[in-house]
Amino acid sequence: MIAVDWGTSGFRAWRLGAGGRMLDSREAPRGILFVKDGRFAETLRAEIGAWLAAGERRVVMSGMIGSRQGWVEAPYLPCPAGLADLAMSLVRVPFGDADVRLVPGLTCADAAGVPEVMRGEETQVASMLGDGASTICLPGSHSKWVQAVGGRIMGFSTYFAGEMFAALRGATILGRMMTDGPTEFASFDLGVARSGEAGHLLHQLFGVRTLGLMGRLADTDSASYLSGLLIGHEVRAAMPADAEVDLIGAEALCTMYARAIASCGGRVGALNAGSAQRGLTMIGERVRWD
Amino acid sequence: MIAVDWGTSGFRAWRLGAGGRMLDSREAPRGILFVKDGRFAETLRAEIGAWLAAGERRVVMSGMIGSRQGWVEAPYLPCPAGLADLAMSLVRVPFGDADVRLVPGLTCADAAGVPEVMRGEETQVASMLGDGASTICLPGSHSKWVQAVGGRIMGFSTYFAGEMFAALRGATILGRMMTDGPTEFASFDLGVARSGEAGHLLHQLFGVRTLGLMGRLADTDSASYLSGLLIGHEVRAAMPADAEVDLIGAEALCTMYARAIASCGGRVGALNAGSAQRGLTMIGERVRWD
């Protein structure tokens, strides 16, 4: 079987043998944003053609390739949903002799009935669902906080902190003071602490400027402070009381989230126990192939 | 006397006669951002030279011209401060024969000790201070909410909603769906209502995308909804319970704020009773000129 994680900016594929053993892998900067004129079939053939020629026929794909901007739109599956539900809901993509299928994204609604969506994260999360209840956080541009019970994703909530950070840094007066560099954890922690003080985020953001103006926040520390402020707001709003949170994501980002979770009274459980490769493998094992 | 409101992007000046009567006025796109190489003296002479030649000697200026990026830095005066305090704290600017003075900005601190600053708004507000207690809101990129008692500004709080809106619209995925056009007030009201529902702003922002994705928010309405969401958050956080709020600002923006204030249980009092011209006049009348 071939597993493909095809997102907005990147493409990753694995050739899997018996028991999900990885035989080979590929990675390329060929996310759907970089595929011109809908040439998804050509792109896929260029990446995994050799494996198909060697006899592979089954391909499972997840990520933004199944979105409206992707190859074929795979409609969102409503929560609750687990591995079996995902495996039963794959969407076929015409592709020569191969049997290519897309994992659908998930949808749910928040307390006010506003829709939530994820695409790609469900596959990572599905790979680590246990029997009990768990809270899983996937930090990113649009962070996801997932509630799972008994092997199914019951619901989830999205936070805009990552893309907000980039926009505030790149397109506002707050970013003009910021220098590049590694995360300054002392300043990050000050930002997290600030998020717990009285006052709305929209007010506290202006403080990033005045603290700089008054010489109380160095230009080298300002980005880390802003990052802590935003992640702190997200964690305080999204994390259930006294929670243990499993984290899936890039190492540097998970380090920051783990720090904020601990500062806000939570505990970090598993770190990166879930992965797209493992989720695709587990979904593929449950598919009734032709 | 000559009154000058010299901000980041614009320059306005008034020649005033007895009793503050306006004799003449000028306006130019010569804010401090557009003045090259610190040529503030040349710029001022180009704008008001004819009035000086006609015998004027006294000039009062307010706005970002007194900031670190301006001509001469006028240190922030701490709150509480009223007209008399401002008039006693003007900073002189060397400028030939004329007696040119800068109105200082104001500073205070929020409950957590984080500094607040304003520069320019104090002059607008000072022109409308009564004996009682009042709440004054000046919408803008960095909105100010001012508490005044007995003719003095007791303190104020800044909200980053305006610049946040511009950054979200210009530099995130939320803006990609938005079309230009006049404010759609029904969508604006939905955004204000959304700001009162459970859930953090960082979560509700992602809803702007999903409502669009699901066909529940048209591209033509999306910017108005986002505007209502942000202003709604600001008003709910900044407005004292059961308050009457005086508004100073551009008409379109004041219309939106008035609508949000009413939706959130407040009342709008005076509209644009304060102005830079009037504030400069009242401060100038209290100065002990040489």
Interface of A with B (CB under 8 A): 68, 110-112, 114-117, 142, 157-161, 163-164, 166-168, 170-173, 194, 197-207, 210-211, 213-214, 216, 230, 233-234, 237-238
Q: What pLDDT, on a 0 to 100 scale, did the predictor assign at position B145?
A: 98
Residues B207-232: pLDDT tens digits? 999 999 999 999 999 999 999 999 99
pLDDT tens digits, A170-220: 999 999 989 999 999 999 999 999 999 999 999 999 999 999 999 999 999
Same-domain status, A97 and A167:
no
* Mode of pairing for the β-strands spanning B267-271 and B143-149: unpaired
Q: Quote the tokens at residue A185.
A: 């954890």
Tokens for A167, please give them. 């926009």
**Chain A residues within an 8 Å CB radius of B166:** 171-172
Looking at the fold, whether A177 and A262 belong to one and the same domain comes out as yes
Instruction: Identify the pLDDT of residue A274.
Output: 82
Q: Is B42 in the same domain as B109?
A: yes
The single-letter DSSP state of residue A133 is E
Question: Does residue B145 form part of some domain?
Answer: no
Please say if the pLDDT value at position A290 is more than 90: no
pLDDT reported for residue B265:
96
Domain assignment present for residue A118? The answer is no
Reduced to 3 states, what is the DSSP secondary structure of residue A102?
A: strand
φ and ψ of A141, to 5 deg = -55, -45
- Point out the domain boundary residue: A77, A92, A110: A110
From first to last of its 290 residues, chain B has per-residue pLDDT tens of 999 999 999 999 999 999 899 999 999 999 999 999 999 999 999 999 999 999 999 999 999 999 999 999 999 999 999 999 999 999 999 999 999 999 999 999 999 999 999 999 999 999 999 999 999 999 999 999 999 999 999 999 999 999 999 999 999 999 998 999 999 999 999 999 999 999 999 999 999 999 999 999 999 999 999 999 999 999 999 999 989 999 999 999 999 999 999 999 999 999 988 899 999 999 999 999 98
Chain A nearest CA to B146, separation (Å): 13
Tens of pLDDT, residues A206-262: 999 999 999 999 999 999 999 999 999 999 999 999 899 999 999 999 999 999 999
Whether residue A52 has pLDDT greater than 90: yes
Predicted ipTM > 0.85: yes
| Number of domains chain A is built from | 2
Output the pLDDT for position B273.
86
For residue A9, give how far its alpha carbon lies from the nearest alpha carbon of chain B (Å): 14
Subunit contact B164:A172, Cβ cutoff 8 A: yes
| Domain contains A97 | yes
- Say whether B159 and A200 touch across the interface (CB within 8 A): yes
Q: At which of A95, A110, A125 does a domain end? A: A110
Asked, for residue B190, whether it belongs to a domain, the answer is yes
Dihedral angle computed from the Cα positions of residues A7, A8, A9 and A15, in that order, rounded to the nearest 10 degrees: 20
Report the alpha-carbon distance of residue B196 to residue B229 in Å, rounded.
9
Confidence band (pLDDT; 50, 70, 90) for A141? very high
Decide: A231 and A263 in contact? Cβ < 8 Å.
Answer: no
pTM, rounded to two decimals: 0.95
d(CA B239, CA B266): 8
Domain assignment present for residue B80? The answer is yes
In this structure, the answer to whether residues A24 and A97 fall within a common structural domain is: yes
Q: Are residues B116 and B174 in the same domain?
A: no
Q: What is the CATH number of the domain that holds A249?
A: 3.30.420.310
Predicted confidence at residue A221, as pLDDT, reads 97
- The CATH number assigned to the domain holding B80 equals 3.30.420.300
Residue A104 belongs to domain spanning: 2-110
Cβ neighbours of B111 in A, within 8 Å? 197-199
Residue B149 placed within a domain: no
